[in-house]
Every structure is written in C-alpha cells, then in structure tokens.
Structure 1
C-alpha cells in the first residue's frame, strides 16, 4: 500500500461520522474562539487528504470505533470523497490563515461554510464535494478514468 493511498471504495457511513466529528470540533472551536481548533481541523483535513483515514485522529475514531458499532456499510467510490477532503483542506486552511492575518470575522465565516458542508454530509448524506467532483467529471475537467465507478454516481441532476 502506498503511503499516500486513499481507500476505494469508502464506507459512506464512516465518512458521515467523520463529517459529524468535524462539525462538532468546528462548533467547539468557534465557541472557544480557538486558533488551536482551527489548526486541528485544517491538519485533520490535510491528513485525510494525503493519507486517507490511517493517520487522522477523527477518521481513526470514526473508522475504528464509532462506525463499527453502527454495523452499517455502504460502499461508495473513493475519489470523490478524497476530492471533498481536498476542498475541506482548502477551506479550513483559508479559515486558519484568515485568523492568523487578523481577519477573525472572515475566519469564522469561512469556518461556518465548512460547518454547513460537513453538516450536509453528516446529517443528510449529501456530499457537496462529491457533487462538485461529479459535475467536474461530467464537464470533462476530471478525466473519466480517475473514477470509473463515478459514471454511475447519483449526481446526474446537477
């Protein structure tokens, strides 16, 4: 297994639990006004993007502890989930950089966008990053061979 491997397929329930943990951490971070929380959120997204769930504390908690207790498995293609982690890494890093630059209200606004996207995944099972991936793939901006299984993904209405 490559160091930078990402699972394919992915258990959608594990992804949803991880997103729920991101929402919880983000809300606690905002309530505390914590730059350390912003750093932890951004680091977690980068770890999941680069290494999959093998190193990220939130993903490990989700994959190894919480999701097995749910007993549910629904396998979905991995590439859109990795793309979504990339968007999360970008947005959370932007929030952290805004905070560090002194643009604190903007940092919390950007974090709020992340909370909305993660909440859609966690509570409604709608992965915004996956929807964007599907749209980009249908427009030819992401080659079809990146995710052959995505040709059947239920995002054709976009």
Structure 2
C-alpha cells in the first residue's frame, strides 16, 4: 500500500483549516436541526468527511477541497502556514465526536446526538471564527506530558523547547494607574 495516499499535508494553510471548520459548523448545525433520514444522511456525510480528512487531509474531503480550491482563493490572503500533525489530531477528535453523534442517532438517542453535535459546533466555531484550535491545544498539552512523542511534530516540539528556555522578564511596577480618581492630600 502506498503511504503517500494517506499522507497529511505538513504544513497546512491556516485559512483553509478555518474555512473547513466553518463548513463543518454549517453542516453540523443543519444536521442538528434536521430529523429522520435526512439527519442520518447528514451525520454520515459529516463523519465520513472527518474520516477522509484524517486519512489524507483536504485531498479526499469535499469540504476540504471546497476550502482549499474555492474559499481560500476568494479570501485573497497570503497563506498562513501552521504545523500539520496538530490539525490532523484535531480532525481525529472531530471524527470521534461525529461518530459518537452518529452512534447515538442510530441508537435512537436524538437528544444525546444533538448535545454531541453542539460540542462539535462549539469547537469548530472556535477554530473558524477565532482561529483557536481546541484539538491543537490538546495535542500541545499531550506533547508536553510526553503522551505524544516529540518526533510526531518536530516543529511543535521545537516551539515548546524554545519557550521553555525563555525566562520571564523581571517586572517591577513603580506606579499603577488603574483609572481611579482619588483626592490628593491638601486638595
């Protein structure tokens, strides 16, 4: 089997990741608001999309392709590159969450599936709107704890080592003005 078929891009364009997250928000909200066989079909599409992005990045995913080839060029911004392994980890978390929602739906637990989709919407909204990747943050913490080996993401590890060597600056506050007006003696 050719490993390049399942290679995840590294680095990743941050804007493409954010656009894909925005599309995930739209699809997850549509899924949560739908019912019956439409809800099931949308959940399957959402879960399959995450599985395809974990397998090969945006290459096999309809949402990924739409982001990379249509939405990001429309933005007209210079690519902002970021490490790929944390993004792949975040997609794997999205896969687990969407698969859980799918399982809940198949079991007939609609409320649990909707709550699970709400978690997905919250995380994808953080990524899309604010550029805060919750999965990437979890990846970083797991690297610092040694759960994820440093060789998985050399760039991530070197950033962590670089910040660990920086000592906090000595801070001396002479006077703090907090905006309170206090009468001076003799006034």
Which segments of structure 1 move beyond 2 Å, counting only runs of 4 or more?
A: none
Greater mean deviation of Cα atoms: 70-79 or 80-89: 70-79
Deviation string 1:41-75 (CA, Å, 9 cap, x unpaired) is 00000000011111100000000111012122110
Give the TM-score taking structure 1 as reference length: 0.94
Q: 1:37 aligns with which of 28, 39, 42?
A: 42
* RMSD over equivalenced CA pairs, Å: 1.2
C-alpha distance in structure 1 between counterparts of 2:135 and 2:53, whole Å: 14
C-alpha distance in structure 1 between counterparts of 2:76 and 2:47, whole Å: 29
Shift of 1:13: 0.5
Give the TM-score taking structure 2 as reference length: 0.80
Extract unaligned runs of 5+ from structure 1: none
Extract unaligned runs of 5+ from structure 2: 164-187
C-alpha distance in structure 1 between counterparts of 2:94 and 2:140, whole Å: 17
Q: 2:134 aligns with which of 109, 128, 132?
A: 128
* Residues 7-156 of structure 1 mapped to structure 2, 5 A cutoff: 7-33=9-35, 34-72=39-77, 73-151=79-157, 152=159
When you count helix as a share of all residues, which structure comes out higher?
1
Q: Highest Rg: 1 or 2? A: 2
C-alpha distance in structure 2 between counterparts of 1:14 and 1:123, whole Å: 13
C-alpha distance in structure 2 between counterparts of 1:28 and 1:82, whole Å: 24
Residues matched between the structures, number? 154
C-alpha distance in structure 1 between counterparts of 2:30 and 2:100, whole Å: 18
